Chain A
């Protein structure tokens, strides 16, 4: 070794001599993009599968026929497929994707692997709004069917406004937002329990059914509204993807690279709130998807938000549609509320992920 005062810049652990020209190791970007494509294909497949399963025990080929050529299909089958199954399945995809994207960005802006739209009280608030609307039998003039979704959307908005206001007042840091969010969660959970306690038994049943989160509440209208919100939210996140990736290096480093961290946090928080409210206001409370999908996506495609954001959406949709299939198979001829099944499917999955994780994903 001839080392005097000059330095052959090399690093222990890095193979010296390699990689001065060209690129050592394979670029994982292509491989990861491939994984995202596989996930998307998987989602398409499982979505079709979800359409084929249902309590009406329709023939698989009849369903496929009704999908491909509705005009020549049995009118009864076509009606079931187009009026019930398609909106339910599409809603599962949209709700799962919305919660997956909302979850991953919530974790990113809060720098916390436990954050999700659920843990910050948005879902509890939506549930409270719906419960109040059900308890008092509220009905909007002209559009009574929209009363409960609107009430849920409004209270979810209120919950996010509380967190936002506290953060605005006390400093837009992850700590303040997490604390404010958890306080909001407990506040609305208590309020929700109070409403349930006060409700008459038959009203209580209706409230509980709403809280369970079920795709049976889906309609073409809800698909359209939630779909537009999902599309708008995704588009709104696009310009910030690299800034969100940079935020993973910590506030100070992101700020030193020119990111206005408080402004980014505020902007993304609002998008996450709208995505979550758009997802749960029609179908009810759905937990766990927003927590588990980001971790799955991160394992598969890494931290680069250009892949992570869509991958988290696809993973969310996969979990949701998978849960939807399970919800139809658990008790033949009936549909168990999917909100119950997501956690049943999700928890063992998360356990497996924790046990088998080979390297640090957070």
Chain B
């Protein structure tokens, strides 16, 4: 169980997160949505211990100390850095603390196995700079999964991916979470994808959680109007999944300056 208890973050005097609280059970995949600047990345970094924050984060009842947290793997947005590293090197570094001058062959084999599971085996020795954006994203996902963390925090993992790979990444995350009774919090912009891939949606706006629940409870037309400032239609597909179809942006929306 991941318990977030009134987590607040400030940048200088500017508050970025205002006392965010939530409880997430093992086996849950949570989509974190919200407009640009809502504090999604900040919340993920604060949970990972990479951002100075007030409040308490507990994992299985244990309050987590500040600083990098072993049980929590955070996957930042791709910046294109590290082009000359090989795919295998990147994945191996998921378990940085276990690497020495000599890399344990068993560990290496596990890393190769993880690449194979994501269909990346043939790329193992290629430099990540030579890959497409989507392939890179998968490589960094492999790194995150290789850590076998209790909690995965993924910041826009599908940003560079085509439709097929968007689904593939999120299904892989969800499967991993279900099998290992882990927790995943995934920041996404695509609401239809969020509805499809997550058990639960947390909606963040202006540093506050303003909705928390199953996709059909959170994704409503009034919420989209209020938070995103868009007129949208929410359709239920024959499969039962929700689809969010934006119609038009509202001109006089308060969505950017903060909602009531």
Collect the chain B residues with CB atoms within 8 Å of residue A8's CB.
119
Given A13-B131, A253-B81, check contact A242 B122 (CB 8 Å): no
A253-284 CB contact bits vs B (8 Å, 1 = yes)? 10111111000000000000000000000000
List the 5 closest pairs (A to B, CB-CB), nearest first.
A19-B121, A250-B81, A9-B119, A249-B82, A14-B122
Interface size class of A (residues with CB under 8 A): 35 or more
Shortest distance between the CB of A156 and any CB in chain B (Å) = 30
Inter-chain CA distance A7–B201, complex, in Å, is 24
Contact A23 B112 (CB under 8 A): yes
Given A249-B81, A360-B83, 7 other A-B contacts at CB below 8 A? A9-B118, A25-B125, A25-B126, A26-B125, A250-B81, A256-B75, A362-B84
A1-33 CB contact bits vs B (8 Å, 1 = yes)? 000000111111111101110011111100000
Interface residues of A in 237-261 (CB under 8 A from B): 238, 241-243, 245-246, 248-250, 252-253, 255-260
**Total number of B residues with any Cβ neighbor in A under 8 Å:** 53
Report the nearest A residue to B135, measured CB to CB.
Answer: A11
Inter-chain CA distance A258–B140, complex, in Å, is 15
Given A9-B172, A359-B127, check contact A14 B76 (CB 8 Å): no
Report the nearest B residue to A252, measured CB to CB.
Answer: B76
Shortest distance between the CB of B52 and any CB in chain A (Å) = 13
**Can you name 10 A-B pairs with beta carbons within 8 Å?**
A9-B172, A13-B131, A24-B124, A111-B81, A242-B96, A246-B96, A248-B84, A250-B81, A255-B68, A303-B82
A-to-B contact residues, CB < 8 Å: 7-16, 18-20, 23-28, 111, 238, 241-243, 245-246, 248-250, 252-253, 255-260, 298, 302-304, 306, 359-362
Contact A362 B132 (CB under 8 A): no
Contact A298 B131 (CB under 8 A): no
- A-B interface pairs (CB < 8 A), number: 137
Report the nearest B residue to A14, measured CB to CB.
Answer: B122
The answer to whether the Cβ of B222 comes within 8 Å of any Cβ in the partner chain is no
Contact A303 B85 (CB under 8 A): yes
Shortest distance between the CB of A300 and any CB in chain B (Å) = 12
Contact A14 B123 (CB under 8 A): yes
Contact A10 B96 (CB under 8 A): no
Given A246-B93, A256-B75, A303-B89, check contact A20 B82 (CB 8 Å): no
Contact B86 A28 (CB under 8 A): yes
Collect the chain A residues with CB atoms within 8 Å of residue B84's CB.
248, 298, 302-303, 360-362
Inter-chain CA distance A36–B129, complex, in Å, is 23
B57-94 CB contact bits vs A (8 Å, 1 = yes)? 00000000001101001111001011111100110011
